[in-house]
Amino acid sequence: MLTLKLISEETERVIRGLNKKHFKGAEEAINEVLAIDKRRRETQQELDSNLAEAKKMAAQIGTLMKQGSKEEAEEIKKKVASLKEVNKQLEETKAQAEKDLVAKLCTIPNIPNDDVPEGKDASDNVVVKEGGEMPNLPEDAMCHWDLCKKFNLIDFDLGVKITGAGFPIYVGKMARLQRALEAFFLDEARKSGYLEVQPPYVVNEASGYGTGQLPDKEAQMYQCQLDNLYLIPTAEVPVTNIFRDEILDEKDLPIKRCAYSACFRREAGSYGKDVRGLNRLHQFDKVEIVRIDKPEHSYQSLNEMLDHVEGLLKKLELPYHILRLCGGDMSFTSAICYDFEVWSAAQKRWLEVSSVSNFESYQANRLHCRYRNSETKKTELCHTLNGSALALPRIVAAIIENNQTPEGIRVPKVLVPYCGFEMLDDKNF
């Protein structure tokens, strides 16, 4: 969440940033934060004054008792008792103000970096880079859901029988290709200096709150209500929460972690042709990269993460472009975000396969993730970053469609050593 220091010292910049994100009622929300904080500070000042007065009167009582002025001492005791009652009310008022302040701050999104373009929705995102060769397919080229049926690669209907729509079953060579992609992505992350971890697939409320999924995306998460736990929408949540309530050494930054996980998303309200096949699932696999860094170095880290993801798409021989998201299309928590999209030749549309974001100090403030400055010895908020490297379903969709032949689907050369075959076909064993 935004820090009080930022809101109070750079109020106009914060309001401009929230307006750039098209956050409704930006000025009213910030003014409410400032009003609550003023109430909290004034209450604290009155409480401090009362405590000082009570201490002074307590000293007077002792002196009066020694002087034999018992009646006067008793009168002061009554005043002290009365002050204690007032202080009790002030403590309650302060506690409520602090609670109200945090609750209000949690409803306010991060403000965008200056490099974020103006815009209301995805149509205003800016293409900053393109790469790869567009495939030249015949007019009768098939979409991936038809190819999967033709070669018995993915059974969407069986997934519906067992669980419901959006939970496909991968069969034979396709299951092996899934494993190959996971291993390839993890190996590439390791080569880039990321330490692999295996996180839990369920998290508690504190973890969801720390990375900003709660309360913003509560309706999009699957909840284990009996235990009040949530299935993770991305490995970003458990991996970043490793550093919740931690004070890190500056010399250890940037910290780089990667993780494979299944991801679970309700995707409430999603329907239509754009969600067919692998385009939008409730359960899918993904490799995530996470960095914890110093503020002055985090944008170099962001560029390195962008280079890493681009390198994966080049090795998979997929045509891609990179978008810098406009203010209106950014997530609640990000300060800047880049989306990678690959070309789906049969569908004739771009499919998002990765988002790489710098959250600056927004998540770190919620997580209480700090580092100790080696010069000042003071603790400061870290910057957190994450990116998909990569999400599998739409990568698989593009590979299947772009590399289709009458005999089967050609496997990208970089994956052949991982899966042990060169073609996805109906010879599934």
Binding residue numbers for L-serine: 234, 265, 288, 386
In angstroms, the CA 400 to CA 144 distance is 6
Burial 337-359 (b: 16+ CB within 10 A, else e): bbbbbbbbbbbeebbebbbbbbb
Block residue for tokens 């110093």: 294
Rounded Cα gap, residues 425 and 147, in angstroms: 9
Cross-strand partners of 210: none
Q: Which of 218, 244, 243 is nearest to 230 (CA)?
A: 218
What gap in Å lies between CA 315 and CA 91, rounded to an integer? 61
Q: Looking up tokens 């069969």, which residue turns up? A: 171
> Binding-site residues, please?
234, 265-267, 288, 352-355, 386
- Could you please report the per-residue DSSP string of 344-370? ETTTTEEEEEEEEEEEETHHHHHHT-E
Q: How far, in Å, CA of 48 to CA of 50, rounded?
A: 5
CA–CA gap between residue 315 and residue 390 (Å, rounded): 12
Is residue 123 helix, strand or coil?
A: helix
Question: Which positions make up the binding site for ATP?
Answer: 265-267, 352-355
> Quick check: 413 and 358 in contact, CB under 8 A?
no
Amino acid, res. 249? D
Residue with tokens 């993770």: 232
> Which of 356, 426, 342 has the alpha carbon at shortest distance from 388?
356
